[in-house]
Structure 1
Amino acid sequence: MPHHPPIAIDRTGADIHAELAALRRRGPVSRIELPGSVPAWSVTGYDAALRVLGDPRFSKDPRKHWPAFRNGEIGADFPLIGWVLMDNLTTAHGSDHSRLRRLTAKAFTPRRVEAMRPVIEQAATELLDELAAVAPGESVDLKKRFAHPLPARVISDLFGVPPEERTELLRGGEVNVDTTTSPEDAAANVERWHQQMHEFVERKRRAPGDDLTSDLIAAQEADGSRLSPSELVGTLHLMLATGTEPVMNLIGNAVHALLTHPEQYEQVRKGDADWDDVIEETLRAEAPVAHLPFRFATEDVEVGGVTIRQGDPVLVAFAAVGRDPAVHGASADRFELSREDKTHLSFGHGIYRCIGMPLARAELAIALPALFQRFPDIELAVPPDRIRPQSTFIMNGLESLPVRLGPVGGRPVGGRPMGGRG
């Protein structure tokens, strides 16, 4: 394999798919340079990603397995320092990861998710009622008015975050994925976010409720060795952020894909494609997480024809993995609801599969048909080339999604009412 100089990742995320396609042309695993001139590897191939995600020789713990961090080469000025300092499933390895996963997975059992369906439906209905008051020809930002508040409300209800605290507690996660943030602001965000979450936990400790934060605190108090104070705060950081941002992106990306592919929206309207097709093809072609840090080789490992040295940081490019031509052929970059094979890894793989996947799928299965049932003639309010991406290379979403809703409908689109399983 020819030797290539590393590609310096564009921290603005101006064109994630073009950047990842350039990396893939170099092979399924290629060298990159992160902001702060930190060398790393990017995994863009499907088979290579399966290998990295499933191989125990790749750790998520920088404290144990990133020598550059342990010896001080990676300091507080590293632009992605927030992803290193977290103390939760994102940075846990081995038995620590298993322990934290067992505790947090209780939040997303089939029974718990099924119990959340009325909450999701109520949130969707209330947000759509508010949108119905908008004049049919008026432009409205669907990300701000629907795609973000729906998952934010659902995950906040699940963890007992009162409405008056939600903006602040969720803001820390939003800043953490913005890779244009200065190192100073990133470090200040981590400190502020941790302090706010500690204060929230203490209020819950004094006045517990019927919510998952209170459950985690009770588990901690029953056996202090199960969840340290730092892990409790870190877990809440993770649950609130990942319960909001990826679902927001999936809703926005799915709506954008249908509105920029009217012939495929027509397939849904006629019932030739269903909402499962929309959800899975969006997950494949427009994964909500683009380039996720970090994993670290615990020894030299050969993957995709290259040797990743012990201690090297690795990022899995989920937005590229679903578009791998080796799996999806020459049309891999195209959004096609009729595609039979919609294989993707957008929720991860194996022991690192996203534990919130059942809740995310439930939210999408309710939100998308509800939106298009209420507003069947929805359309973009600006030309597609004026819709900008988020200012990040970690997430794959839209800065805003201006639409004109059109007249209120009421008939199911694709023959399935809100809450339908299709």
Structure 2
Amino acid sequence: MDTRHTAPASGCPFRLDPTGHDIHAESAHLRALGPATPVELPGRVTAWSVTDPDLAIRLLTDPRISKDAHRHWPAFIRGDIPADWPLRIWVYVRNALTAYGPEHTRLRRLLRPAFTPRRINALAPKIEEITTGLLDDLDTAAPGEVVDLRARFAWTLPLMVANTLLGVPDDMHDAFRDRIGFIFATDLSEEQATANNTELYQLLVDLVATKRTALMDDVTSALIQAHDDETGSKLTEQELLDSLLLLIGAGHETTVNLLDHSIVNLVSHPATLALLRNNHASWPDMVEETLRHQAPVANIIMRFPTEDIHDPHTGLTLRRGEPILINYAAIGRDPERHGETADQFDITRPTRREHLAFGHGAHYCLGAELARLEARIALRALFDRFPHLSLAVPPSELRPLESFISNGHQALPVVLRPQTVRSS
């Protein structure tokens, strides 16, 4: 593939590590290169990586910035991006994540009723019920036994909540769990990515077919009805499937990594946990600081200028159609915004809420408040049930996900209670 078709106009691109081995070291390096710098993605696709918070906000609120590759990425339109490009699903899909202008407004409007404050608050009892069930299962572990808290808690809870919201049948939960994670893997071969996407779309087709036989008061049923009606908001079949993919995939991964990093931060900072237990700090503050300190989505792809954009604050010019990544990991630890201790976890930090972990502007995450609610309920219950919870390995030995998009761990081995503590 000819990288001249996709490369930003200036600079030699820094090759992103597809394994996500050290996202924060990489982000710090990119930040040192300037507010935005050229990077190379898998498949020799190059883009601008934006690491400056103020520049990111300007771009995220600029109506001349699109997420629609079908309309505004010349290399994609010309066919220069191969059909088996491993990250193709991120730009190929037709949903609110990738739409632009009136199309984005239409697709987002269809999803918004699922995330009203009333509907989210109504989910609290169900979140508590799911949390209790998962903790009861974990309570069967013997003192001193090592369990994977990511697999058995952080990963499972958000998926069960999402499936409740969407009305996914119980017998499809495991299949979606197995396929969703691979969307975020950036080290897959072209063949692996293509195979996973094929299986995932078949699951979505099966879900729609199943739900059509018995529509209910859930989000999937509402989207099916929007597809089947004759109004101006009608969804195409592709938009229906891709909207479900967005709801099951993107929102789930964000919450998983939020829970994952919150647990690691708390067990690594016992003084912080003591503040929470003594009501000298709040769980919402802990959640916001984790979102800042460990952005659950490290990098989000892609955006495209619909025309040449000159930013007078930085002197940068982004040419029409040049891909843009927003580097949320770098933005969350920007020392100009958060001080010299930006790399440290501190829930008393005055700027703890000044992060972009859920995006900004027109594409701000609809499920942000649901993720926050899940985290507050689940984490408080987890540490109430297992007050002596500890990591089974040093934090430095936790293996990161093989992804520069998703910021989490492959596993979270913990000891729920030491052998000297007996369950009551």
With structure 1 as the length reference, what TM-score do the two structures score?
0.94
**Residue matched to 1:385:** 396
Residues 77-86 or 5-14, more deviating:
77-86
Aligned partners of 2:325 and 2:143: how far apart in 1? 43
Residues 268-277 or 54-63, more deviating:
268-277
**Residue matched to 2:7:** none
Residue 331 (structure 1) aligned with residue 331 (structure 2): no
- Distance apart, 1:93 and its partner CA: 0.5
Give unpaired runs (5+ residues) of structure 1.
411-422
What percent of counterpart residues are identical? 47
Which of 173, 190, 197 pairs up with 1:183? 190
Give SS of 1:331's match. Answer: coil
- Distance apart, 1:162 and its partner CA: 1.1
Aligned residues: CA RMSD? 1.4
Residues 372-381 or 269-278, more deviating:
269-278
- Distance apart, 1:380 and its partner CA: 0.5
Which of 223, 242, 246 pairs up with 1:238? 246
Residues 188-197 or 294-303, more deviating:
188-197
Which of 259, 265, 269 pairs up with 1:257? 265
Residue 51 (structure 1) aligned with residue 61 (structure 2): no
- Distance apart, 1:267 and its partner CA: 2.2
**Residue matched to 2:292:** 284
- 1:102-251 matched pairs, under 5 angstroms: 102-223=109-230, 225-226=232-233, 227-251=235-259
Aligned partners of 1:92 and 1:171: how far apart in 2? 27
* Letter matched to residue 168 of structure 1: A
* Letter matched to residue 180 of structure 1: D
**Residue matched to 1:350:** 361
Residue 395 (structure 1) aligned with residue 415 (structure 2): no
- Distance apart, 1:219 and its partner CA: 2.4
Which of 8, 12, 19 pairs up with 1:5? 12
Aligned partners of 2:350 and 2:241: how far apart in 1? 42
Q: 1:409 to 1:316 in 2, by over 3 A?
A: farther
CA deviation string 1:280-321 (max 9, x = no partner): 100101010000001011111124332111100101011111
Which of 19, 24, 35 pairs up with 2:26? 19
Which of 294, 306, 309 pairs up with 1:298? 306
Aligned partners of 1:11 and 1:334: how far apart in 2? 25
The answer to whether the Cα contact below 8 Å between 2:48 and 2:323 also exists between their aligned partners in 1 is yes
Give SS of 1:128's match. Answer: helix
- Distance apart, 1:409 and its partner CA: 7.6
CA deviation string 1:126-152 (max 9, x = no partner): 000111111121111100111011010
- Distance apart, 1:206 and its partner CA: 2.1
Q: 1:409 to 1:283 in 2, by over 3 A?
A: farther
**Residue matched to 2:279:** 271
**Residue matched to 1:322:** 332
Aligned partners of 1:223 and 1:282: how far apart in 2? 44
**Residue matched to 1:404:** 415
Aligned partners of 1:173 and 1:313: how far apart in 2? 25
Residue 369 (structure 1) aligned with residue 380 (structure 2): yes
The answer to whether the Cα contact below 8 Å between 1:80 and 1:179 also exists between their aligned partners in 2 is yes
The answer to whether the Cα contact below 8 Å between 1:132 and 1:408 also exists between their aligned partners in 2 is no
Give SS of 2:325's match. Answer: strand
CA deviation string 1:71-108 (max 9, x = no partner): 01101132211112111112100000000111101101
- Distance apart, 1:4 and its partner CA: 4.5
Residue 312 (structure 1) aligned with residue 319 (structure 2): no
**Residue matched to 2:350:** 340
Aligned partners of 2:85 and 2:335: how far apart in 1? 34
**Residue matched to 2:106:** 99
Aligned partners of 1:317 and 1:223: how far apart in 2? 40
- Distance apart, 1:392 and its partner CA: 0.4
The answer to whether the Cα contact below 8 Å between 2:285 and 2:347 also exists between their aligned partners in 1 is yes
Aligned partners of 1:20 and 1:268: how far apart in 2? 30
Residues 208-217 or 51-60, more deviating:
208-217
The answer to whether the Cα contact below 8 Å between 1:378 and 1:404 also exists between their aligned partners in 2 is yes
* Letter matched to residue 391 of structure 2: L
CA deviation string 1:21-77 (max 9, x = no partner): 000001111110111111100011110110111111110000000000010110113
Matched length:
408
Aligned partners of 1:391 and 1:257: how far apart in 2? 20
Give unpaired runs (5+ residues) of structure 2.
1-9
**Residue matched to 2:93:** 86
Give SS of 2:34's match. Answer: coil
The answer to whether the Cα contact below 8 Å between 2:97 and 2:363 also exists between their aligned partners in 1 is no
Aligned partners of 1:45 and 1:139: how far apart in 2? 40
* Letter matched to residue 338 of structure 2: H
* Letter matched to residue 186 of structure 1: A
Give SS of 2:142's match. Answer: coil
- Distance apart, 1:192 and its partner CA: 2.2
